[in-house]
């Protein structure tokens, strides 16, 4: 039976790599104290390298204007922007768009993924158009999104959704393909209804893969969010970066870049925790 195998080889790519990305940094140190030390030391090294690089650039007169890109001006600007509420409002409006986009992506993507995993003819027919649509760079939908959706806000949410829905679909399908078909037989023999098979077997079996897909989806949505906010809107993280650039406040620009990285790191960390919590396959 080649069906599920094909999905496994073809879709596992993204899936395995995502799992791999989680696995790789796991050698973090045995104790929490050591892990905390590594965390702080790693970030300190990054900041030191950043400071050093800017310092070297600022020495030469031709690149002296890079001085405002340094870590100290950025941190100072961050304090000012926090007090004036700029950071909070940018995070709030971007967070709302991101969350809505991801929610729609899960609500649409997970059922389609289950359908692909369970219905052979749907899988075979949808494969070509889905692969084509998946590889359309999300931002190329932007002109169409602006026309179809009235507000810029909903256009941005659409862009995030269309970027994030593919990892969710394919991870869900790949997760379902890995489920032992005997489980369904056993469940049916034990008298499970379709609803029970869905809630007791399918949902539980694929939670790990849906979360892995969500992690990939978050990464993609995070990439799309910033350029999507460059145009049209006057709120959010992307707008703040564009705004800081146009007003030549490079310290504020770097402060916003830091905020983008920190929030992304935090969100990614949350999903990694969820994946570990629900990762039953890898402990076998």
Does the protein bind another protein through residue 2 (CB under 8 A)? yes
Measured from the CB atom, is 200 or 230 closer to another protein?
230
Does the protein bind another protein through residue 87 (CB under 8 A)? no
Does the protein bind another protein through residue 13 (CB under 8 A)? yes
Among 67, 95, 99, 127, binds another protein (CB under 8 A): 127
Q: Cα–Cα distance between 19 and 240 in angstroms, integer?
A: 33
Does the protein bind another protein through residue 265 (CB under 8 A)? yes
**What's the closest the beta carbon of residue 121 comes to another protein, in angstroms?**
8
Q: Which stretch binds another protein (CB under 8 A): 70-78, 168-176, 187-195, 251-259?
A: 251-259
Does the protein bind another protein through residue 226 (CB under 8 A)? yes
Among 32, 61, 135, 191, binds another protein (CB under 8 A): 135
- 25-44 positions binding another protein, by CB under 8 A: 25, 27-29, 38-43
Does the protein bind another protein through residue 273 (CB under 8 A)? no
Measured from the CB atom, is 14 or 192 closer to another protein?
14
Does the protein bind another protein through residue 20 (CB under 8 A)? yes
């Amino acid at each position: 039976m080649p069906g599920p195998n094909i999905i496994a080889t073809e879709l596992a790519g993204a899936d395995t790599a995502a799992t791999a990305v989680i696995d790789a940094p796991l050698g973090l140190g045995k104790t929490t104290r050591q892990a905390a030390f590594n965390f702080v030391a790693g970030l300190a090294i990054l900041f030191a390298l950043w400071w050093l690089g800017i310092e070297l650039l600022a020495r030469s007169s031709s690149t002296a204007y890079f001085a405002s890109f340094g870590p100290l001006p950025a941190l100072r600007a961050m304090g000012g922007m926090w007090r004036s509420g700029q950071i909070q409002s940018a995070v709030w409006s971007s967070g709302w768009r991101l969350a809505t986009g991801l929610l729609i992506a899960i609500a649409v993507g997970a059922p389609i993924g289950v359908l692909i995993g369970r219905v052979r003819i749907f899988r075979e027919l949808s494969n070509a158009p889905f692969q084509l649509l998946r590889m359309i760079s999300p931002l190329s939908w932007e002109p169409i999104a602006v026309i179809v959706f009235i507000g810029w806000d909903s256009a941005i949410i659409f862009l995030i959704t269309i970027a994030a829905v593919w990892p969710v679909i394919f991870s869900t399908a790949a997760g379902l393909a890995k489920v032992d078909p005997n489980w369904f037989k056993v469940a049916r023999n034990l008298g499970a209804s379709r609803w029970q098979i869905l809630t007791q077997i399918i949902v539980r079996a694929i939670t790990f893969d849906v979360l892995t897909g969500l992690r990939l989806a978050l990464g993609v949505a995070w990439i799309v969010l910033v350029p999507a906010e460059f145009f049209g809107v006057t709120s959010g993280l992307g707008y703040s970066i564009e705004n800081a650039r146009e007003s030549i406040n490079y310290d504020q620009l770097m402060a916003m870049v830091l905020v983008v990285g920190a929030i992304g790191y935090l969100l990614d960390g949350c999903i990694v925790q969820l994946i570990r919590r629900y990762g039953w396959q890898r402990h076998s």
